[in-house]
Structure 1
Amino acid sequence: MSNNIEKNKTLYQLLQGNIAVPDYQRDYAQGRINDKKIEDTRLKFIDDIIAAACGKSITHMGLVYGSANSALKGFVAVDGQQRLTTAYLFHLYLAKRLGRDVSEELSRCLSHFGWHGRMYASEFTELLLSFDNWSEVGDSLGTYLRESANYFTVWEKDPTVNNMLVMLDAIHGKLKNVSSDFLLKMANNLVSDKCGLVFDYMLLDKDTDEFLYQKMNSRGRDLTTYELFKQKFQSEVALSEAFKTKIDNSWLCFFDSKASVLNLETDVCYQNYINETALFLEIRNTNDNFFYVSAIEDSKLKGNRTDVGFIPFEAYSELVKNKDLVERIFDWITINFDCVESVVASLEYKGETNQLLSIFNIPTWSVRVFNYAIVQYAQKTDFSLVDKDHFWLWWRLVHNLIANTNIDSNNIFNIIKKIDEVPAEGIEDYLMEAKEEYFNIFQFKEEKLKISLSRGNRELISVFTNLEKDIRFKGQISMLLPDEETITADEMVRIAKHFECLVEGRYDASIIDFSFVRTCLTFYVEEDGEGLNKVFMGNAPSHFRLEDGFPAVFIKRMFRDYLHWLASGKGCDAGEYLVYRDREWMKQYDELSYDRKKKLYWVKFLYTNGDMCKEYFDRSRDKTFLVRVNGDMACCWLYHKSYRNEEDILIGTRRKEVIETCIPGVENASLRHEGGFQHPIYKYLFVYFDLNGIWFGIRQNSDCEVKMLPENTVCSSANYKAWRWFKSLGELNYYYEHEGEALADYLVRLKEEFDIDVKRFLQQIGMNLDNFNGR
């Protein structure tokens, strides 16, 4: 077929001649109501058109094609009538809103579009052209038109008329508050050669089977994206007869079988896999996927029909350039998919949602990388028949790396580059020497350790695999792996049983044992990270995962200690161990230096205030917890992980005693974080206890008059007439007594200094305390 395609044509250019929508076309559908998908698409489509009309972006509306009609002296739309109608209504709306201000060129050409052979739709379009004064329309353009004396109620029987009214209302909803100057700018852009709203345009040759498309539309079935792609692909690309035959035979049968499993149309699965293949070829070969990701992602959102889903053919440029490779990929996947899928399914973690079948529907980025890795495996094995055992060993390692790495459009380049390095042969040797980058570094280290321990021992690998699939671990079992250089399969099984004995249901998603979590925290050490201030608690099993720091690191240390305790013969029950460990830690704490006690006081606080902490823990068991530690000041809080407001705080350590000392009678001192407490005597003064210290402030909405602001000591801001820090961090610890000082004595001295400083501050801003009347 030799149809010539003209690129990037604007509707204004097409309207230089007549455009007719023939009577065999289905009704205009983009204004349908009671269909959430179409409604969302409609609003997104209008946004895209507005962005293009404003010159902010390019909105490519795909291919429209049709035949010449000598009687109409114009173009008869075979496909694309939905998009053409929407674009026409947008042009018409701007022209009618602008009235006399619109350019003569745009106003003149609007009469060149019509629905041929449909009386009601044709009459209604003529009415739209005759209407003026759209600038006076209120909130509903549809109501305005229906209330016109020239509107015939019989038109309401025509779905095309009704849907055009809905679309016009949607356009009006977006633009009703926009100024005339801005509308004029958009209208001028639309008639410009630089217009960003464009089509690809194809006039069918006389020998083209237009009748096929007429039959589809007369049955009410619009062309799918795949049918359009196939038409375009076969007309633009030189394909062998064998390639063409596979498209409609072996490949079609394959995608039909996958579609039946997913309860989808065959064309959807077919086109989605074409899109995914095009996507990874573009990313791999050009290092620039933004345009193509956007186009392909939009096709997922908008569906598979040409009236709502369209992808510029340029998105398939690398697929076209590599058509021989594409043919081999499709041949290989058609023959080997079932074998590959069985291996992938056998290694899935319990509860994993990254099924390979998703590549034919709406895949995650992880599934996309799964597919890419598998295709790379095929290419590196010269697209030979899959050796199931060999692929199993290879996929187990690759799957662990991919599944435990957060992947999105921002890091997909680097992930693909790393996969390109992975060989099909000798993967274990490669991973042992490979640089730990791009994939989850903890997972990378774990895979190296497991390779070192197993060294081809299939029995031990089998034990590792079974543990990896456990929902508790999801591929991350380093907390079970020994420090020794060797281990047998039996020893690994025994260690796993000991782990279950210790953990059991104590750290389960639905039942979290506070005592178990508290004991885990005793294995915190300063070396976990300088400035560490976040420790996650709760919401298992995901927080067994290594990247979270806690509890994986702490549980691993506790488990090692538990194994030593078992080996020492001190006991054999996990419950006994937890009691023993708690008692030993409290003894060790009493022997620590002053500085170490300060740093670990937050852990002791969980012990000495156990009942209160457990009460909050139990009350909010369904939430994820966060411990925040503030360095030398030994401030510790338990939050809900959401940390959305001040009331999320659950517990504070020494800060509570400090607040209650400085602000006598304050309620819920432990339940507020960085919130202001009103001073019990100076009612307009608020005192704040934040992470860095204590400060006083007079709010702007106070009726207290501030007379002066001495430099360097007192400041003002948008919310405070005056404020100042209390003392300096060098003079007081704020939340902790000094070394050698009893807490009670420290609090007395703190209170004295605090009261003196408050009075000094008030005097600095001109307050006469002798005449204070408690305002």
Structure 2
Amino acid sequence: MKIERIEKIANNMKDIDGKVLANELVERLNSSSFWELLTEMTKIQIPIIQRDFAQGRENEKTNKIRSLFLESIIEAVESEKGSLELDFVYGNVEKDVFQPLDGQQRLTTLFLLHWYIALKTGELPNTKKHFIKFTYETRISSREFCNELVDNGEFLGIGEKISEKIYDSKWFFLSWKKDPTIKAMLVMLDAIEERLLSKNDEELKIFWQKLTSENPPILFHFKQLNDIGLTDDLYIKMNARGKGLTDFENFKAKFEKHIKKNVFEKELELSENNKEKWKELTEKTFSHRIDTVWTDLFWKHRGEDNIIDNEMIKFIAGIAINNYAQNLEILENSEDELRTRKILEEKKEKNITDEAVKRERIERRITALFNNPADVSPYDFPTKESFEYLKKCFDVYSKNQNDELLPANVTLWDFCKTKKVKINSDTEIDNNLFIEFIKKNETTYSQRVLFYAQTQYLVNLENFDSESFSNWLRVVRNIVQNATIDSAYAFIGAIGLINELSSGCENIYEFLSSTTLKSGFATKQIEEEKLKAALIKSDNNWKSQIFKAEDDIFLKGEIKFLLDFSKVGEEYKIQEFTSISDKFLLLFESKDDLLRKALLTQDDYPVWDGRTSSLGWAHRYSLLNTENEWKDAFRKKSDKFINAVYKLISNSFNLSDDRITILKNVIQNATPLNDYRSHLIKNDSLLRDCYHKRICLNEKKTILYVLEKTRVVGENYKEIKV
């Protein structure tokens, strides 16, 4: 065909005596039309790493470019002389499959122009075998849309514009409206239709003949670049001239190649005999779901820029983090292993085994993804199991509104603050763990553990039960709240425990009361949870009162000392627990000076903070100031402190009475004290002005030093002889 064209070119030249410039002949020799490329190639495939189709975007700049480009094309087709040169189109050709490095935008526009004219002239049914060759690898939705245009294009729906007819067609998926390439294609088709609306059938047939002739009016210079090696990096650099690929787009492009290379999914081939079966299998693939069902999920939670890429990439990175901690598997990498071993040796670590190196690599990778989710790589899903887990996580949050899931009657405290969240310009929903997981701000390790627990429930159980789910999240919340999870090391320990517990997530209290756990994480809280589970299993009346106590904003799940208070002999008594816990919740609602005074009347409770004052011979004692100091006092269970608390809440009083009145009565009716405590109780200013609620006492506790507005004892204190 090329040689025939040269002869025709030469015959049409004004300079028939053969004085034709060599470079002009060479340029003509290498020029092609879209239809020629489509018929000669097995396939024209827009590479997966390419940007979305942009010429159909709706903005002032693109509208102008689109209008001028279409005008030039139509004028060239209408003209009887000359042709329109569209510059170079070049890329990789392998086994007659052409993947353009540059020219995607022009090729897509030409595909739509040819398709529209073929549709209007009745040529589409006869040319499907050619049109079906044009395909998008970028998104499976874009690819399927192009296929449907070709296969079912002549069966359009109802509408004034071509886009409306396509929208109304039975084969059009509503989720495709969110695909930026499809949206842009429909805009371009409307623009083409508007430009050709005045043409009658005969004129359009002439257009078709010209576009598919051997001497077409629209040409581009076609250049193969196989010899330079078309890497993903080269595609990315080339596309930097236009709209840059997002972190998610880059990840997705590489990940789909990763899936194919590692055969994580069976490769599907289109069978004309069983197209419905092929379509059914396709809808289960990662490529299809990431562009349809999962896009619908994240579209709902899109940012103000109406883009879901940041939320998508954070979700994927978060699942990778959870997967690392759950399975403790990482892709083998000899260079990274040697580097990690050297780091451990420099730290003078002992017993640097292969397992220790592997664990260190996993912890470092978790930390890296925690700090920068955009760093996620296909290699963070090294096995088919890790890939399948990612798909399951996407799937469970894409159904039954699980992205809005919250446990019933379980406060998640700071892990998920109760508030309304604006997920787009029109909708507000209750904040939840899914939103915390994909939000722009940092997601803490503790929040990730709770999200992992929620996900394990959804993945493991087919039938959702609100009560069992809430019980499960309650137990996990209590564990997470009362454990320190601030590093990859601790996170792995927490995930290991929750993974072990998740075997019984359907009935967590039955599981806890009957199972010996292997995990050594958060052992004290686990002991408490097992005790509570056993009590609930023995008598369901325990349940509501335990829930009431552990939901307290101060206790936050840690109520072992209250359970101990309710023990009579070797048996825990529900009546005792109800009375004691209700009294505690009332009196300890505020950790104010009135409470401190009431406790002082019960016992010599101030806790030595382990330091000697700058006076040299006086010990520093804490009257408890911060929440952590109060919590530590209950955890350490100092005899005098616990005795003071127990005696205070054992006082006889009516729960309907005012808290302040109750405490004042306790102080007033207390046995007179003849030591330093009487000064603190009687003198309001001493407690009020006591800096950070610290006092100093000599060994015999006969002299009291009250610190006043200073951190250094001895510089500013008030001495009181007892």
Query: TM-score, length-normalised on structure 2?
Result: 0.48
Query: TM-score, length-normalised on structure 1?
Result: 0.45
